[in-house]
Amino acid sequence: MKALTFSKFGNSDVLEYIEIPSPELKSGEILVEMKAIGLNFADVYRRKGNYHLKGNPPFIAGYEGAGIVVKTNGNSEFKIGDRVAFADVPFANAEFVAVPLEHIIPLPDNISFEIAATILLQGLTAHYLATDSHKTQKGETVLVHASAGGVGQFLTQISKLLGAKVIGLTSSSDKAEVSKQNGAVAVFLYSEDWKKQVFDFCPNGVDAVYDSIGSNLTDSFEVTKMCGQVVFFGMAGGDPELVNPRMLMDTSKTLTGGDLWSYLISKEERIKRAHQLFDWIANGDITIAAPTIFKLSEGKLAHDYLESRKSTGKIILIP
């Protein structure tokens, strides 16, 4: 089979589209022929050598995608031809992937392979952030960092769907328009005095901040109201400053960490959460921008485009 691989760490030039052996199925696995694969910043970090990797060189990145069952290895739960997806299985940047049954998400007929590869990791992340890390209440005002990014777009829509007003933060006027289209009632730019703008809009501060930047964590606390919450789930801008527990005590504010893998703890959880997303999309409660599509063989171009930060929607790879 063909796969997008790398044998050393570095920029996108290290990527190679080569022929490698197809995976050998183990007990409890099925073989999926990939139809669409999600590209995420984690794959860039893996290529650079600063994120965890499985396997040995030539390494295969990718954890998210959708396709068709082509071999069941004697498992009766799925049959050849079934449409399935997954959000957390390694070696996805290939024509075929061995997928543990526990990680399989059955794909409804009204959800395309491309949509599944577009929404699962980022959509499931936004889902747990808005329903578990912070239990969104009707009438709240929440602040979403990087609101035009993949998770940010889902988080804006889900928060609005659950009854909250959303303030977005982003880096350009074009991205601000994307945030507004997703339902943000106000969007401010990082290049401006956004903390003052937040207080002008919401004098007592916001109920919750979703911070995927890291280096802005102190600022996030400053715009959070008394008894409010900051949900920290990413470090796109670098490591945060240390948080003083005395500040938390004096202001009754809460800091919560968030990681998707703490919530996708069973087959039932994966399916329940994914099908909630599918239902919201089918009902028109959530809309998604058309993904930017590259061939898997064009992996270098896809990585370069993702790193350029020009994209506002998902990038997917098609074998």
Per-residue pLDDT of the chain (319 residues; tens, 9 = 90+): 999 999 999 999 999 999 999 999 999 999 999 999 999 988 998 999 978 888 899 999 999 999 999 999 888 889 999 999 999 999 999 999 999 999 999 999 999 999 999 999 999 999 999 999 999 999 999 999 999 988 999 999 999 999 999 999 999 999 999 999 999 999 999 999 999 999 999 999 999 999 999 899 999 999 999 999 999 998 888 888 899 999 999 999 999 998 898 999 999 999 999 999 999 999 999 998 889 999 999 999 999 999 887 776 799 999 9
Give domain status of residue 227, yes or no. yes
> Which domain range does residue 189 map to?
138-257
In angstroms, the CA 285 to CA 265 distance is 26
Please state the three-class secondary structure of 42-94 as a single string: HHHHHHHCCCCCCCCCCEECCCCEEEEEEECCCCCCCCCCCEEEECCCCCCCE
Domain co-membership, 154 together with 252: yes
Contacts of 94 (CB under 8 A, 6+ apart): 1, 2, 3, 4, 20, 23, 34, 60, 62, 296, 319
**Count: domains in the chain:** 2
Tell me, yes or no, whether 177 and 222 share the same domain.
Answer: yes
For 110, 285, 286, the CA distances from 65, given in Å and listed in that order, are 16, 23, 20
Residues 148 and 251 in one domain: yes
151 shares a domain with 236: yes
206 and 99 in a common domain: no
With respect to residue 99, please indicate whether it lies within any of the assigned structural domains.
Answer: yes
The answer as to whether 186 is a domain residue is yes
- 190 inside domain: yes
- The verdict on whether omega for the bond into residue 100 sits within 30 degrees of 0, i.e. cis, is no
Q: Model-level pTM?
A: 0.91
The CATH number of whichever domain residue 29 belongs to comes to: 3.90.180.10
Name the domain boundary from 229, 257, 285: 257
Residues 6+ away with beta carbon under 8 Å from 113:
35, 36, 66, 67, 83, 85, 107
Boundary (domain end) residue, out of 208, 241, 257: 257
Give yes or no: residues 225 and 289 share one domain: no
Domain boundary among 257, 285, 302: 257
State whether 177 and 227 are in the same domain.
yes
